[in-house]
Amino acid sequence: MCELLGMECNVLTDIVFSFAGLSGRGGKHGPHADGWGLALYEGRVARVFLEPAAAAESPLARFVREHPIKTLLAIAHVRRKTRGDVSLANTHPFTRELWGRHFVFAHNGTVKNVRKLKLGRFRPMGKTDSEYAFCALLAALEHDFGQTAPTRTALAASIAKHAGRIGKAGTFNLLLGDGDQLYARCSTNLHYIVRKAPFKKATLADEDVSVDFAEVTTPNDRVAVVATMPLTRDESWTAGVPNTMWVFRGGALVKTLAS
Amino acid sequence: MCELLGMECNVLTDIVFSFAGLSGRGGKHGPHADGWGLALYEGRVARVFLEPAAAAESPLARFVREHPIKTLLAIAHVRRKTRGDVSLANTHPFTRELWGRHFVFAHNGTVKNVRKLKLGRFRPMGKTDSEYAFCALLAALEHDFGQTAPTRTALAASIAKHAGRIGKAGTFNLLLGDGDQLYARCSTNLHYIVRKAPFKKATLADEDVSVDFAEVTTPNDRVAVVATMPLTRDESWTAGVPNTMWVFRGGALVKTLAS
């Protein structure tokens, strides 16, 4: 199993506070020591840091925390392997280009009999059920829309439909980004919070680290954060309902779909 | 224009020495201050560091030099923009998955009328002629071989043919990796060296930095390095003949094709 973290904002924001909380679960406070990854969008393109090792002890993860890169959309993952060795090819998040933009995907859970899913032109490079399911999901999107990017509404509906179908065979909590929206499907465990004015102080659940967001924000800022388990101890997170998918845009929850 | 660097070896090797030489040309000794990138393969998958800023002053480039990652195949690039803004989307090397492996591409030169080239399913995310040409090249490979990966011989012949065709409209020095071989096409400027026993000392062309490779190698090691201009002042580099393509595997030049 693994832990997921997503952030989607209406103003360029660094993910350092939340990523520090997630990193701690990658080998220090949690057992997810088999790899970590962080994707940060700049427009349609994601820059991805990946390492098949524990985030808590990684010099690269420390570098990313100490040299924050601001973004409107980020997806991070710490891995505890269930299928597939510890290797770069098996490290989330996974990335593919479709319709001239990066799709970035991270998964918590295990999808059974994944090789029964139909693949299109996207082929797994590693051995995880997660990457296979991602390739099958992209194949289904391309099958639905061909070479022309769909509208936001049509895309969200299609993602919800196919993620629900794939998720029937196991546990399929996922985060998916396309540089425009963040899609977060709950199979068993997923939580979100939207931070907006009036901003308050927040303290990490696993560490004595606090941020007073009032000091680092402006009144119009909105930041949505999604995580497997709440990352802070003094904020009110909303739990996901199994078989639903949240869609975030502009730092707000804009849609909840059955999935 | 830009500078290219590729490394292909028969033993896991770090690229720090050569990358230090290239980085210096990214804003310190050279004008290539509009971005840098470094792709390091682990098997079929590449880990890619990208930054739309000068390598010579980049904390991330320094981190990569100070925390060497060993690899059998690497491609690096420092950019001086001719087409396209300074942005992540326009920063080389570019990466796509085809046949379950990463193809990584970096380009020196300008291809004219690039939008006349036929695209398949690979779409540019940025505005460079380079990424467009890369997408057109992959489309041509997929057109030749469909969804089944070809043999090494057939793939090299196809890359040489299509790179030569695309390169007719401008300057198309390129490095292309697939995790198995390094393809290096010379349009105007490209040089290579193979370091093997007996190893000697080498000194960077632009800096007073030396390495005695005899101290860090074993007698069977072979490391091929390709660069736009020779990176060292005391080694003998071989200049490329325009419209030819080198193929490197196992740290050796295994083939030279017309292109």
Token pair, residue A70, equals 């601001």
- Taking alpha carbons only, the member of B180, B170, B160 closest to residue B46 is B180
Sheet containing strand A244-249, edge to edge, reads A94-98, A101-108, A173-177, A182-186, A244-249, A252-258
Judged by CB atoms closer than 8 Å, whether chains meet at B123 and A48 is answered as no
Residue B185: strand pairing partners? B174, B245
Put simply, the answer to whether A125 touches B60 (Cβ < 8 Å) is no
User: How many CA within 13 A on the CB side of residue A206?
Assistant: 18
* Residue, of B174 and B80, whose pLDDT is higher: B174
Written as six digits, the tokens of A149 are 């990017």
Q: What is the pLDDT of residue B91?
A: 93
A146 touches chain B (CB under 8 A): no
Q: Quick check: B180 contacting A, CB < 8 Å? A: no
Write out chain A residues lying below 8 Å of B120, CB-based.
none
**Chain A residues lying within 8 Å of B99, measured CB to CB:** 123
Distance CA A201, CA B108 (A): 50
What is the end-to-end Cα distance of chain A in Å, rounded?
A: 21
Chain A, chain B: beta-carbon pairs less than 8 Å apart: 64
Rounded CA gap, B101 and B177, in Å? 10
pLDDT at residue A1 in the model: 61
Both tokens assigned to B77: 């690039």
Q: What is the token pair recorded at A37?
A: 């990854």
C-alpha torsion sign, points B240, B241, B247, B250: negative
Instruction: Spell out the domain ranges in chain A.
Output: 2-258
B47, B67, B102 ranked by CB distance to A59: nearest: B67
Q: What local confidence, expressed as pLDDT, does residue A31 receive? A: 74
| Mutate: best of B12, B38, B60, B67, partner A, most A CBs <10 A | B60
Please compute the mean of the pLDDT values over residues B74-94 and round it to a whole number: 89
**Assign residue B250 a region: left if phi > 0, alpha if psi is -120 to 50, beta otherwise?**
left
Please judge whether A125 and B96 are an interchain contact, meaning their C-beta atoms are less than 8 angstroms apart: no
Inter-chain contact A88–B47, Cβ cutoff 8 Å? yes
Q: Phi/psi of residue A67, each to 5°? A: -125, 70
Interval B181-212: pLDDT, tens:
999 999 999 999 999 999 999 999 988 889 99
Residue of chain B minimizing CA distance to A42:
B88
Residues of B annotated catalytic, as ranges: 2
Identify all chain B residues contacting A125, using CB atoms and an 8 Å cutoff: 44-45, 97, 100-102
Residue type, B119: L
What does the alpha-carbon distance between residue A25 and residue A227 come to, in Å, rounded to a whole number?
Answer: 12
Residues of chain B with C-beta less than 8 angstroms from the C-beta of A60:
63, 67
Instruction: Using the structure block, give the residue that is written with the tokens 């230090």.
Output: B20
Contact B119, B133 (CB under 8 A): no
| Triad B231, B233, B235: Cα angle to 5° | 90
How far is it, in rounded angstroms, from Cα B250 to Cα B178? 13
- Here the tokens at position A181 are 């929206």
CA distance A240 to chain B (A): 33
With contact defined as beta carbons under 8 Å apart, do A114 and A129 qualify? yes
CA A157 to chain centre: 18
Cα–Cα distance, B54 to B67 (Å, whole number): 19
Residues 6+ apart with CB under 8 A from A256: A244, A245, A246, A247
If you measure CA to CA, which chain A residue comes closest to B64?
A: A60
The CA distance from A14 to A71, in Å, is 6
Residue B28 pLDDT exceeds 80: no
Q: Do A45 and B102 touch (CB under 8 A)?
A: no
**H-helix or E-strand spanning residue B211:** strand B210-212
CB A100 to CB B47 under 8 A?
no
Residue with tokens 């506070």: A17
CA A228 to chain centre: 9
The verdict on A12 touching B (C-beta cutoff 8 Å) is: no
Tell me the average pLDDT of chain B: 93
Other residues' Cβ atoms within 10 Å of the Cβ of residue B82: 14
Q: pLDDT band at B258, cuts 50/70/90? A: very high
Low-confidence stretches of chain A (pLDDT beneath 70): 1, 30
CA distance A9 to chain B (A): 19
Q: Which residues in chain B have their CB less than 8 angstroms from residue A48's CB?
A: 48
Pairing of strands A191-196, A182-186: unpaired
d(CA A94, CA A106): 7
* Cα B123 → chain centroid: 21
Query: Are B59 and A67 a contacting pair at CB < 8 A?
Result: yes
Inform me whether the C-beta atom of residue A68 falls under 8 Å from chain B C-beta atoms: no
Contact B88 A43 (CB under 8 A): yes
B98 interaction partners in chain A (CB closer than 8 Å): 123
The model's confidence at residue B80, banded by pLDDT at 50, 70 and 90, is: confident
Any chain B CB within 8 A of the CB of A70? Answer: no
**Which homologous superfamily does the CATH classification assign to the domain defined by A2-258?**
Aminohydrolase, N-terminal nucleophile (Ntn) domain (3.60.20.10)
Measure A242 CA to nearest chain B CA, in Å.
Answer: 32
